[in-house]
A = this chain, B = another copy of it.
Amino acid sequence: MSEKKLFLIPATLGDTIVTQVIPSYNLEIIQGLDHFVVEELKTARRFLILCGYKTDLNSVRFYTLNEHTQDEEIPFIFADSGLSDLGLISEAGVPGVADPGAMLVEAAYRLRIKVIPLSGPSSLILALMASGLNGQNFAFNGYLPVKSPERSVRIRFYEKRSETEHQAQMFIEAPYRNNQLIEALLGNLN
């Protein structure tokens, strides 16, 4: 195992107050880093400032990891950062869940770099806690198809699975499409 570490750093969304959802320990870890892998540069810089990050951002090395990142860019990130520890920050919430961060984590293991996930807010877990649904058996299925008949077919598929396996089914949706999704659920579910 090398000495180099990859910290997985949960981030806030929008105007959320950092101390409301992020442990103070994470802020200490962030202070000690000057190499970050980020999904979107602008929001990551904003998040670091909200965290009270003291290093001049112009002297910090940022690497971008998003849906456009090619596999071959990953080894470059590890090589270019040398012996420095890396912090992975996703667009909002915990890195590696519903974002491309898993690519970096998988590569870190192959290079025998220690991966350290930090505790923080996950919208999926907060929604599941607050749902009153079955937290002993659940699935997160990402986005439903936007158009029918594909959308209707998938909704009925997941309804059947929740009935036969008593498994709670979770999805993600863009805020501006929530009402359409609820209408589609009302129109398709028993």
Contact = CB atoms under 8 A, between A and B. Distances in A.
A129 B167 contact: no
A145 B184 CA distance: 37
Contact of A117 (B96, B102, B129, B134): B129
Nearest to A143: B136
Given A21-B119, A22-B23, A135-B99, A129 B141 contact: no
Contacts of A22: 23, 119
A128 B97 contact: yes
Contact of A21 (B25, B106, B108, B124): B25
Contacts of A131: 96, 102, 105
A12 to B, nearest CB: 10
Contact of A23 (B23, B97, B102): B23
A129 B20 contact: no
A175 interface: no
Contacts of A17: 25
Nearest to A6: B130
Contacts of A126: 117, 119
A17 B23 CA distance: 11
A149 interface: no
A144 to B, nearest CB: 12
A102 B133 contact: yes
3 smallest CB-CB distances across A and B, nearest first, come from A106-B132, A97-B135, A105-B132
Interface of A: 8, 17, 19-25, 94-99, 101-102, 105-106, 108-109, 115-117, 119-122, 124-126, 128-142, 167
